Amino acid sequence: MLLAALETSAAQDADFIAVSGRLSLPAGSTGTSFAVRVVGDMIDEADQTVLLTLTTSTPADAQVINSPAILTIQDNDEAGLNLSPDAAPLIEGETATYQVSLNSEPIAPVIITLSADSQIMVVPSTLVFTPSTWAVSQTVLITALDDNVVELPVVSTVAHTLTSDDPVYKAWPSDTFQVSIRDNDVAVLSIDDVILPEATAAATGSSPGRSRSRIRCRGRSIIRRMMIARWRAAITSLSSAHGPLHRCNNADDYCDRDRGYVLGERGDVGATS
C-alpha cells in the first residue's frame, strides 16, 4: 500500500511534516502503524486537519476502505495577557511596577492601551507586542497620586485595552490590574477662643462676656470622609478638653452650647449662639 499525508487546513512543514511511502502487512497480519510528525507552535488557533490517503494496494483485487482518513491536530495554545506580580498596597506618593507580556504568539502586532483611574498614574500609556517580541515582558510603573484629602483606602484599577489585526487578540476583552491605595493625610482640628464685648454679646443674644469658640478644619480635609476611628478619636479629644459633647438638633452634629461650639459631621463646623 502507498500512503500519503495531504494538507487541508494544516500547512505542510508549518503544522506537520509530510509523509509518504509504502506500507507492508506481513502475512497473517491485519494491520500496521505509521507516524506523522506534528509541528508545535505558540499561536492560538483553531484545530487543524490533515488527510491520510491510501493511493494503491496489492494484491490488485484488495479493496481500500475509509480512505482518506482525517488526522486532527488539536491546538494547545491560549491567547491572553500575563500581568505579574500582584501589587502590594501602596501609600499615597509611593510607586510600584508590574510586568506585561502575551500568553501566545500573535500573527500581527498587538497594541495595548493603558488607562487608570484618578487615584494613580501609569507610565507608559501604550505597549506594543509583535510576533517576535510577544514573550518579552515590558514594565509598567504605577504611582499612587498624593493629595490633601483624608479618605478611606481605595482599590485602583488599570485597564488594558487591546487592538490588533490578529483575530484572537482583536476580540480579547480588556484585562485589569488592581492595586490598593492607602491614605497618608490626617485631619487636623484647631479651636480658637474669641472674647466678645458685652455690646457684641447682647447683639448676638449671648450671655455677656461669654467666650465663643470655633472649631476649624485646616487644609482640604473633610470630616465627613474621615475614617470612623479618627472621627471618634476627635470627639473623644474634644470631650476631654472641653467637656462632654451632646447631639444637637441635627443628628449629625455634636455640640456643647454652654461653651459655644459645634462639630458637624458634614464639615459645617462653627460657633453656636
Instruction: Print the domain residue range for 222.
Output: 189-271
User: Which residues are CB-neighbours of 15 under 8 A, at least 6 positions away?
Assistant: 7, 38, 39, 41, 48, 50, 73
Q: Would the pLDDT of 31 be above 60?
A: yes
Total domains present in the chain: 3
- Shared domain for 116 and 173, answered yes or no, is yes
| Residue finishing a domain among 47, 77, 107 | 77
- Shared domain for 212 and 254, answered yes or no, is yes
Domain containing residue 35: CATH number: 2.60.40.2030
- Shared domain for 12 and 62, answered yes or no, is yes
- Shared domain for 140 and 227, answered yes or no, is no
Q: Using one digit for the tens of pLDDT, what is the confidence trace for 77-110?
A: 889 999 999 888 999 999 999 999 999 999 999 9
- Shared domain for 174 and 92, answered yes or no, is yes
| Residue finishing a domain among 77, 108, 134 | 77
From edge to edge, which strands make up the β-sheet containing 2-7? Answer: 20-22, 2-7, 48-56, 69-73
Q: Would the pLDDT of 135 be above 80?
A: yes
The answer, as to whether pTM is greater than 0.85, is no
Q: How confident is the model at residue 257 (pLDDT cuts 50, 70, 90)?
A: very low
- Decide: 127 and 175 in contact? Cβ < 8 Å: no
Cell of 51: 488527510
- What is the average pLDDT across 188-206? 58
Q: Which residues of 187-196 are buried (b: 16+ CB within 10 A; e: fewer)?
A: beeeeeeeeb
**What is the number of other CB atoms lying within 10 angstroms of the CB of residue 223?**
20
Q: How does the average pLDDT of the chain come out, rounded?
A: 74
- Shared domain for 171 and 193, answered yes or no, is no
| Residue finishing a domain among 152, 182, 212 | 182
User: Which residues are CB-neighbours of 252 under 8 A, at least 6 positions away?
Assistant: 264, 265, 266
Residues listed for the chain: 273
Domain containing residue 120: CATH number: 2.60.40.10
- Shared domain for 146 and 211, answered yes or no, is no
In the DSSP assignment, the letter for residue 223 is G
User: Which residues are CB-neighbours of 169 under 8 A, at least 6 positions away?
Assistant: 79, 102, 106, 108, 110, 162
In the DSSP assignment, the letter for residue 16 is B
